[in-house]
Amino acid sequence: MTDPFSGAGEPELIAASELAGVPDEFQRLWTPHRMAYIQAGPEPLRLDCPFDAAPQMSDEDGLIVARGKTAYVLLNLFPYNSGHLLVCPYRHVGLYDEATREEVDEIAALTQTGMRVLREVSKCDGFNIGMNQGRVAGAGVEGHLHQHIVPRWATDANFFPIIARTKALPQLLGDVRRAIADAWSI
């Protein structure tokens, strides 16, 4: 058998059974737990949206750190890192291109302020900012637009979430909310 990966001329057609055990130079990270997500199919629309409910609560109960005219900022209940903020319009709208100009402008302004406040309060080194639009893009709540502001530190990258399925968060949500809300109003 000739080496099908040698690149010399046209590759020879080889039965798959003959390739068993031939290395392909890829490293693999097996994640069988993801099959439940992949096979689940489309999620039904949520009748109770957490981003519709949060503004109806007190700031403490809703984890809200700032309220604007058309949008507000709250802590993520399931944060990637301490201080992980979400910027949401009050209006129940699912996609960025469906937001009004006023909503887009306020989401942008609140995002900028959120970055400044997080930099001051948490001394973070950088940010991941973005929106997951649609279930296939990773949106956990796909029916209500929300922008993530995730503070990052040079020391926060590790394999703990992968090998232990655990995320270490050094601060409690209530303490983080209070510190950010206090700094926001200064």
Hey, which bits of 3-135 come out as E strands?
Answer: 64-67, 71-75, 85-89, 126-130
Helix 173-184 to helix 101-122 angle, to the nearest 10 degrees? Answer: 110
Choose among 149, 67, 80, 65: nearest CA to 112.
Answer: 149
Out of 84, 144, 146, 148, pick the active-site residue: 146
User: How would you classify the pairing of strands 85-89 and 126-130?
Assistant: unpaired
CA-to-CA dists, residue 98 to 91, 92, 146, 159, 180, angstroms? 11, 10, 12, 37, 29
Q: Is-catalytic flag, 146? A: yes
Side-chain-side CA neighbours of residue 143 (13 Å): 12
Catalytic residues, which ones?
A: 146
